[in-house]
C-alpha cells in the first residue's frame, strides 16, 4: 500500500427476507448508505433470489476444501471472500432468523478447516440487522447473541446487533427516523479509517 492512500473497502449486504422493500431491506440499504458515506463500495444481495440448497452435512468440504454442491452459494462464498465487511439482515420469524438466512449460515461450514479454524481471512467486520414484530427488543436477544457469536467464530469483528422491535408493517422502519439513523451509523461503523500512517 502507498503512504497516505485511502484503500476502498467493500461491504456486502445480505437480505434474508423474502420481501423486497420490507423493513429488513430498508434497514440493510440504510446501513449500506452509511458505509458508502464512510468511503466503502457496497453491494446488495437478496438471498431469496439465489438458488442454493441446505448443507448436506456430507463432510466433503473438509476433504476437498470446497463445498460439493455446485449451486448459487458459490456466488455468495465469493462475495464473502471479496468483502471487507458484511451486513446480514433477517426478520425474526417465530423467534429465529428466516430459513433462508439460516441455510446461508449453515453453508458456511465449507469455510471451516478440519480443526474448525476459519478459512475466511481475519479482520473482516460484520453487523446483524434483525427486525421483529414484538415490541420488546430483548425477547429474542439470545438468538441475536447466538448469531453474533457464530460470526465471531468465523473471525469477524461483530458490531452490536441492531434489533428493530415493533416492526409489524412493511413500511414501519422507514418511518422511524431514530431507527434509520442507527442503521446508518451501523454501516459507518463497519468502515474504519483506511488511511495509512
* 28, 116 contact by CB (below 8 A): no
Is the pLDDT at 95 greater than 70? The verdict is yes
- H or E element: which one contains 175? helix 172-175
For the chain, the straight-line distance linking the first and the last C-alpha, in angstroms and rounded, comes to 11
Q: What is the pTM of this model?
A: 0.93
Is the pLDDT at 120 greater than 50? The verdict is yes
How much of the chain, in percent, has pLDDT values that exceed 90?
91
Instruction: Give the Cα separation of 131 and 144 in Å (integer).
Output: 11
CA angle 180, 151, 79 (to 5 degrees): 80
Which domains are delineated in the chain? 10-189 (3.40.50.360)
pLDDT of residue 7: 62
Total count of residues recorded for the chain: 197
pLDDT of residue 56: 97
Q: Residue 171 — very low, low, confident or very high, per pLDDT cuts 50/70/90? A: confident
pLDDT of residue 8: 83
Average pLDDT over the chain reads 93
Amino acid at each position: 500500500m502507498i503512504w497516505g492512500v485511502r484503500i476502498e473497502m467493500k461491504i456486502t449486504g445480505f437480505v434474508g427476507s423474502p420481501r423486497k422493500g420490507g423493513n429488513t431491506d430498508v434497514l440493510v440499504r440504510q446501513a449500506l448508505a452509511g458505509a458508502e458515506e464512510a468511503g466503502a463500495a457496497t453491494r446488495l444481495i437478496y438471498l431469496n433470489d439465489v438458488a442454493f440448497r441446505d448443507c448436506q452435512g456430507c463432510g466433503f468440504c473438509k476433504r476437498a476444501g470446497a463445498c460439493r454442491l455446485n449451486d448459487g452459494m458459490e456466488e455468495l462464498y465469493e462475495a464473502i471472500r471479496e468483502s471487507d465487511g458484511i451486513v446480514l439482515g433477517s426478520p425474526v420469524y417465530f423467534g429465529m432468523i428466516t430459513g433462508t438466512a439460516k441455510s446461508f449460515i449453515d453453508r458456511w461450514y465449507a469455510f471451516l478447516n478440519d480443526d474448525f479454524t476459519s478459512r475466511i481471512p481475519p479482520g473482516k467486520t460484520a453487523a446483524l440487522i434483525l427486525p421483529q414484530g414484538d415490541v420488546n427488543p430483548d425477547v429474542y436477544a439470545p438468538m441475536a447473541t447466538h448469531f453474533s457469536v457464530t460470526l465471531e467464530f468465523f473471525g469477524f469483528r461483530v458490531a452490536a446487533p441492531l434489533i428493530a422491535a415493533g416492526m409489524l408493517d412493511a413500511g414501519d422502519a422507514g418511518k422511524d427516523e431514530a431507527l434509520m439513523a442507527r442503521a446508518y451509523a451501523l454501516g459507518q461503523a463497519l468502515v474504519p479509517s483506511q488511511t495509512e500512517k
